[in-house]
Structure 1
Amino acid sequence: MNTDTGFDQEPFAAAIPRSESVLLLPKMDCPSEENLIRMALAGVAGIGSLNFDLAAHTLSVTHQGEAQAILSCLAPLGLGAQLITSEPIADGAWPEIEPVDDAGEARTLRWLLAINGLMFLVEMVWGLLAESTGLIADSLDMFADAAVYILALYAVGRSVALKRRAAHLAGWLQVILALGALGEVVHRGVTGSEPESVAMMGIGAVALAANVICLMLIAKKRHHGAHMKASYIFSANDVIANLGVVIAGALVTWTGSPYPDLVVGFVISVIVLIGARRILRLQ
């Protein structure tokens, strides 16, 4: 469990009861969704801390007022938010927030952004050259990661409204790219394609190595806050997508069919599109 908050601590009126509410969010499993939750709750007065447990898909919030206000803000995100418990907090028991190494985390985020941005370009170019929808779609997964890190860096010192506009811009870019990739899958499925399996496996392996490097960069800081732990889990999930591209390339070689490439391209594109939809639902 990691305690973290993106909110300034304000004096609390003693007359308003303080509570700790635990919410279940079954679809919360990546940093883009965690960032959305932070932005959605940024306008709620009386938030003390946010405690994310991505493995259990739960969020513990210390707050003033009714828990229903928090649920109302999270409902538009489509993460299935449900209130599990809400218990009063005794006077003097308001949790202290431990300071974090903002400068160190910013350096790590910049490296992650550089790696994911570079791999987005590499996979996109090679995907087009190799006629591989799997590489094209995996490049979009890298773009989605880069967008998360851009938002994390951009959010420092910015207003809530500006953060949301930036998130919406990233969401629309993801929608356009994901729809383009799905269109490419349909086009190549109808007209036929000859994906170069060697390029698929080679570039897929490079992307896999890039995500392993990202994991190594985040590993020492994944306990410094929910946002860093989320980035660690997100990069770990990306490894699965990279392995999917490599395996699809091997299946193309073995079967002589382009369909393994089309299938992995379709699946990854849909995943990116679902993530973009959640970003755009942020009000």
Structure 2
Amino acid sequence: MAGHCCGAESGHDKAAGDRGWRTALWIALVVNAAMFAVEIWAGATANSRSLQADALDFFGDAANYAISLAVAGMALSWRARAALVKGISLLVLGAWVLLSTAYAFFFGTLPNAETMGVIGVMALVANVGVALLLFRFRTGDANMRSVWICSRNDAVGNIAVVAAAVGVFGTGTAWPDLAVAGILAMLGISGGLQVIVQARRELRPERVSVLLTAK
């Protein structure tokens, strides 16, 4: 009992946790893949940069969940390597969104606020559900933490997309849409850096072990 209270896991508890983790990832994967298809179409139709950015985020998360499923149950070093790849992908996505937003600043047209609002609310419901599903895994290793960070960022981003729709409707300008796209980019960059730092920290003991073995 004392060991369990201190955080030790029995084989049965660990197996149950692994099953719960895999089930949560499968649900998150299906939801994100479906919402990517919806948002990429809606973003193109409504000419909304924030919807398109959010759609790419859904795509990236679906790919990340697939990677997490592939490495679930593997050694910590492999899970850390997968998290490192995901962290780098978040940085790349953030950079792409910033460049896309800069382009739209000069050449973009007014997005459709109604479509932005409807799809934004739909995406918010989906992401809040996924975030709640993954909440209990937020303090795990870098791989689990990266999944939680992605889900958290998505929920925050969707609230911003809905706010942007209201702003576009109220002002008749594209500024709110562009501002939210920039916020999503910074969230991706910040989250990517957090994941990379933790993944490198978890990989460090392995490098030390290799050096000691070589000696």
Output the CA distance in 1 between the equivalents of 2:82 and 2:20: 23
Aligned residues: 190
Output the CA distance in 2 between the equivalents of 1:201 and 1:177: 23
Output the CA distance in 1 between the equivalents of 2:40 and 2:120: 11
Output the CA distance in 1 between the equivalents of 2:86 and 2:152: 22
- Structure 1 residues 167, 208: closer, same or farther in 2, change over 3 A? same
- Structure 1 residues 191, 214: closer, same or farther in 2, change over 3 A? same
Greater share of helix: 2
User: Which structure would you say has the larger Rg?
Assistant: 1
Task: Answer yes or no: is the 8 Å Cα contact 1:140–1:174 preserved in 2.
Answer: no
- Report the TM-score when normalising by structure 2: 0.71
Task: Say whether 1:112 aligns with 2:24.
Answer: no
Task: Say whether 1:269 aligns with 2:189.
Answer: no
Tell me the residue number matched to 1:152. Answer: 68
Equivalent of 1:255 in 168, 171, 174: 171
Tell me the residue number matched to 2:209. Answer: none
Deviates more, 1:154-163 or 1:129-138: 154-163
Of all paired residues, the percent bearing the same amino acid is 31
Q: Can you give the 5+ residue segments of structure 1 that lack an aligned partner in the other structure? A: 1-47, 50-92
Output the CA distance in 2 between the equivalents of 1:180 and 1:225: 27
Output the CA distance in 2 between the equivalents of 1:199 and 1:128: 11
- Report the TM-score when normalising by structure 1: 0.56
- Structure 1 residues 278, 255: closer, same or farther in 2, change over 3 A? same
Tell me the CA shift for residue 247 of structure 1: 1.6
Q: Aligned runs of 1:104-253 on 2, under 5 Å?
A: 104-143=20-59, 145-146=61-62, 148-215=64-131, 217=133, 222=136, 226-227=139-140, 235=151, 238-253=154-169
Tell me the CA shift for residue 143 of structure 1: 4.2
State the AA in 2 paired with 1:188. Answer: A
Task: Answer yes or no: is the 8 Å Cα contact 2:39–2:119 preserved in 1.
Answer: yes
Please, what is the CA RMSD of the aligned residues?
Answer: 3.4
Q: Aligned runs of 1:31-46 on 2, under 5 Å?
A: none
Secondary structure in 1 matching 2:72: coil
Tell me the CA shift for residue 226 of structure 1: 3.8
Task: Answer yes or no: is the 8 Å Cα contact 1:140–1:269 preserved in 2.
Answer: no
Tell me the CA shift for residue 225 of structure 1: 8.0
Output the CA distance in 1 between the equivalents of 2:191 and 2:179: 19
Q: Can you give the 5+ residue segments of structure 2 that lack an aligned partner in the other structure? A: 201-215
Greater share of strand: 1
Tell me the residue number matched to 2:8. Answer: 96
State the AA in 2 paired with 1:117. Answer: A
Tell me the residue number matched to 2:204. Answer: none
Deviations 1:85-119 (A, max 9, x none): xxxxxxxx975325141223311220112112322
